[in-house]
Amino acid sequence: MIFRFDCCGVRHHRTRKTLTHDQILITSALPYVNGVEHLGNLVGSLLPADVHARFRRQTGCDMLFICATDEHGTPAELGAIEAGQDVRAFCDAQHAVQADIYRRFGLSFDHFGRTSSPYNHALTQHFYRRLDDAGLIEARTSQQVFSPADRRFLPDRYVLGTCPHCGDAGARGDQCDHCGTLLDPPDLIDPRSALSGDRALEIRDSRHLYLRQVELVDSIGAWIDSRTGWPPFVVSTAKGWLNAELRDRCITRDLAWGIAVPRDGFDGKVFYVWFDAPIGYIASTQEWADAAPGRDWRQWWWQADDVSYIQFLGKDNIPFHTVSFPATLIGSGEPWKTADVIKDSTG
């Protein structure tokens, strides 16, 4: 017997059916909701995933191809500000634009969902509670960038500056795209606000929640070692980040748009987009399953040892998909399906 959590958090018990065909689950990196002008997602992950999905269908496999728009975090807020729209209205419109583009390109998604869906809100909060119950969530007072001109904290991509590792002047507060190093906004040299250009930034204390990834190093390392078929670059990046750079990760942000944190004292904060976005793969599968009778998302994600799960993504997504997302799944203590093969844009 296995159980599912629906969008209301209710358990449903059912016996998982046995399938006669090989099962292949394919997901592609989630395109930012405001990223329609970029072909990188299409060429680097969406198109290769689609080609592989079509091949698997032709071989007679029981195949599921899932993707979604990534709708939370600073990219969505900044896009809405630039467009002069409410962020929800902006995401509604942009999701429709992207879905239409991919339809016209002929991409064969079984479902193209949204990380802002009620399914993803419920499931992200479920994972948070599981991790918290396991002692893997810790509240800490951390230093955050505050802009007097903007009169607000500036999380992640609201802060631009110079990377302290490679010296690239176009680094963001969450990551340097030039060298691939994950960052926090206070790490940047000569930081400025992405909203106003304000350089008179201050460092102030703010209370946030951290996922204690360091406690999961051995478990994640064993999981990586158990995988086969990963490109060498993916393996080296994952092990390099795990062994040399892994640290506990802040999973909340001072933002208005996102998934609310179900914890006393954290009103007005939301989960970090890179915490909730990969969970959107599962949530979108739940939404797909509920759209028609006879579908069961659990056969793909819950105790799914007979499923081969292949992820297609860009190289800048590797640390999140080889360490952070597995940390969420493994740390939950539940039998979620993890990736068997990860294919990135380098090979």
Per-residue 3-state assignment (H helix, E strand, C coil) for 153-204: ECCHHHEEEECCCCCCCCEECCECCCCCCECCHHHCEEEEECCCCCCCCEEE
Question: What is the reported pLDDT for 314?
Answer: 86
Question: What is the reported pLDDT for 152?
Answer: 86
Question: What is the reported pLDDT for 308?
Answer: 96
Q: Are residues 129 and 155 in the same domain?
A: no
pTM summary value: 0.85
Question: What is the reported pLDDT for 14?
Answer: 37
Question: What is the reported pLDDT for 4?
Answer: 41
Residue segments in the chain with a per-residue pLDDT below the cut of 70: 1-21, 36-41, 245, 346-347
CATH number of the domain within which 188 lies: 2.170.220.10
Nearest to 180 by CA among 319, 43, 34: 319
Domain contains 265: no
Q: Are residues 59 and 40 in the same domain?
A: yes
Domain contains 21: yes
Question: What is the reported pLDDT for 347?
Answer: 58
Question: What is the reported pLDDT for 8?
Answer: 37
Domain contains 250: no
Q: Are residues 116 and 61 in the same domain?
A: yes
CATH number of the domain within which 101 lies: 3.40.50.620
Where is the domain boundary, 173, 208, 243? 208
> With contact defined as beta carbons under 8 Å apart, do 16 and 337 qualify?
no
Q: Which domain holds residue 68?
A: 2-134+276-344
Question: What is the reported pLDDT for 37?
Answer: 60
**What pairs with residue 206 in β-bridges?**
142
Question: What is the reported pLDDT for 144?
Answer: 84
Domain contains 338: yes
Q: Are residues 30 and 123 in the same domain?
A: yes
Q: Are residues 281 and 325 in the same domain?
A: yes
User: Positive or negative CA dihedral for 122, 126, 127, 129?
Assistant: positive
Question: What is the reported pLDDT for 5?
Answer: 40
Where is the domain boundary, 188, 208, 228? 208
Where is the domain boundary, 160, 185, 208? 208
Q: How many domains does the chain have?
A: 2
Q: What angle do CA 228, 233, 234 make, to 5 degrees?
A: 55
